[in-house]
Structure 1
Amino acid sequence: MRHPIAPALRIASRAFVAIVGGYVAAALYAATMARWLPMPRTEAVMIGMLASFAIYAGVAIMAFAVGSATRAWIWLAAGCLPPALALYLSTHGVFA
């Protein structure tokens, strides 16, 4: 028999992915676009910020569309890894 609080914890986990994870993903992608887009910095920042709204909404939709909360966490981690790695490498002199 399942514990009665288990469904609430699964929904809370998905909500955390949607709210906090969406913010983290949007910020990572916005910063990565601002750093890597081959155009003047102000335009790159503006494009990154505009794209961050769509990314945030996409993560929020994904958090509740996948089959389980574990899959939502895996998708979030997989989606945040490329921009995080690109930012790390570009700010630590590898691709300066």
Structure 2
Amino acid sequence: MDASQTDKPLRKAKAADVSLAYRLAVTSRIVAALFGGYLIAALTSLCITQWVPMPRADAVVTGMMLSFVAYLLAVIWCFACRTAWRAWAGILLPAAILAAIFALGRWLS
């Protein structure tokens, strides 16, 4: 018997053994990466645009460019954590800090 023929039943058995909890954890990380990453990217862009001492157009372009980096880092963070809870905490805590910084800037101006 060929080695490739013996591997096929093992691959099917491994795929069938994936639990619902694991699938939900991966789904949660995907949602955190997509929507949480977008939230962090948007808030990063707003904060940088508001706080960087540059002409307005340059600040907007700089904020938009750095928001792509923030989104990338958020997605990497979501899949580098050990648990989905840490991924969500690592997304929501910086988002709350960025929102507070943005609100402070709006209040001061």
- TM-score, normalised on structure 1? 0.90
Larger helix percent: 2
One-letter amino acid of the counterpart of residue 29, structure 1: T
User: C-alpha deviations, 1:40-59, integer Å up to 9, x for none?
Assistant: 11111100000011111110
Residue of structure 1 equivalent to 2:82: 67
Aligned pairs for 1:74-89 (under 5 A) are: 74-89=89-104
Secondary structure in 1 aligned to 2:87? Answer: helix
Secondary structure in 1 aligned to 2:54? Answer: coil
Secondary structure in 1 aligned to 2:40? Answer: helix
Unaligned runs of 5+ in 2: 1-18
**Aligned pair partner of 1:20 in 29, 35, 58:** 35
Distance 1:12 1:63 in 2: 11
User: Is the radius of gyration larger for structure 1 or structure 2?
Assistant: 2
Identity of aligned residues (%): 35
Deviating more after overlay: 42-51 vs 76-85: 76-85
**Aligned pair partner of 1:57 in 72, 93, 98:** 72
Aligned-residue offset at 1:11 = 0.2
Distance 2:98 2:58 in 1: 19
Runs of 4+ in 1 over 3 A off after TM superposition: none
Tell me the number of residue pairs that the alignment of Structure 1 and Structure 2 aligns.
92
Unaligned runs of 5+ in 1: none
